[in-house]
Amino acid sequence: MRIIILFLTLFLLAGCGGRVPSPREAAEQFLARLKEGKTADAYDSAASTFKLTRSRKYFEARVRDLGLGETKSVTLGEPEARGELMRVRGEFVLNNDTKEVLDFDFVKEGGAWRLIEARQPLSERPGMVEDVFAVEARSSDSKAERSKAFLEPIATPIPPERQVALLVKRSLLDFNTAVKSADFKAFRESVSDRWKYRGKDPQALNYAGTESRSVEDSDPMNKARRITVSALEMTFRPFVEAKVDLSPIADAKMKLDEPLRVNSEGVLIVTGTFDCDVFIGAPAALATRVTFRLEYVFESSTWKLFGLTVNVAKPQLTGK
């Protein structure tokens, strides 16, 4: 009889699968996977409801946008019950030294505590309690994007690198034409409406009356940060004055600094350089290199420019 009882006891223990990790341990494991670059594993460990409402690809983009895979330190609090959920607060110091606080909510599912959402505390951002991993149009600059809030902005596939290289060359050579002519009107016309209008109605921007609501919609102080010809001229005046010439990139090879990616707002990010010299000054031009960060959004069935950062290293002359 003792042998039978012992066998039944061992069988029951084996069926339990060992000790279930606590919500705090589940949070530690989830964040450790992010730190190790195992974003897919972290996604797979989440609750079924979490995975039902967002794809792995979108989750990976949000993790990168939030910087949760690049942390200097993480401090986790003790779990607090929230009905059937258990909440664990995480305090992060990111690699860029900014601080972030998130409340992670876990639900018991399949014999384990699994992430169901993560929110910023009200004390950190009053009025903002969104799930930071939720599929939402977080940019306020595009009415069209907001109308597609139920879709994942990242769903648009990344184009092949060869196609992106042509896209980048066209953008930078158009920019180069604007610099040489000191006229950015045509260049502005070539960029995305999302950059030009920031969700504003173009007709509303031309309002010349006095009705207060219409005046506000016309955004006379450009609070929406719309890209304008004058803004381009002011920003890139040093390029015009230095007589920067980027034309050699036309026959050069693009070299990426990081893999192509689309962030959680649907913005294609391209950073890199070219394997050629560009020039500063004329007629005695000085050779240097250009680096860039270009951003594109998918608009009217094509990728259009949404952001432009161009750096040309100033050559250093040395004598012996």
Measured CA to CA, the distance from residue 183 to residue 21 in angstroms comes to 63
Burial of 287 per CB tally in 10 Å (0-12, 13-18, 19+): exposed
Cβ(274)–Cβ(138) below 8 Å: no
Tokens of 181: 């002519």
* Per-residue confidence (pLDDT) for residue 264, from 0 to 100: 84
Residue with tokens 């920019």: 175
Lowest mean pLDDT among 146-150, 242-246, 258-262, 303-307: 146-150
Measured in degrees and rounded to the nearest 5, phi and psi for residue 143 equal -65, -40
Measured CA to CA, the distance from residue 249 to residue 273 in angstroms comes to 9
DSSP string, 292-313: EEEEEEEETTEEEEEEEEEEEP
Q: pLDDT by residue (tens digit) across 31-64?
A: 999 999 999 999 999 999 898 888 888 899 899 9
pLDDT > 90? residue 253: yes
Cβ(209)–Cβ(219) below 8 Å: no
Domain boundaries, the chain: 18-134, 161-312
pTM of the model: 0.66
* Per-residue confidence (pLDDT) for residue 131, from 0 to 100: 84
Name residue 247's amino acid: S
Overall average pLDDT of the 207-235 stretch: 75
Measured CA to CA, the distance from residue 64 to residue 216 in angstroms comes to 35
Residue 70: C-alpha distances to residues 29, 98, 108, 140, 249 (Å): 15, 11, 28, 26, 33
Homologous superfamily (CATH) for 18-134 = NTF2-like; domain 1 (3.10.450.100)
Answer whether 18-134 and 161-312 agree in fold. yes
Q: Please state which architecture CATH assigns to domain 161-312.
A: Roll (3.10)
pLDDT band at 18 (very low <50, low <70, confident <90, very high): low
Residue with tokens 């192509």: 260
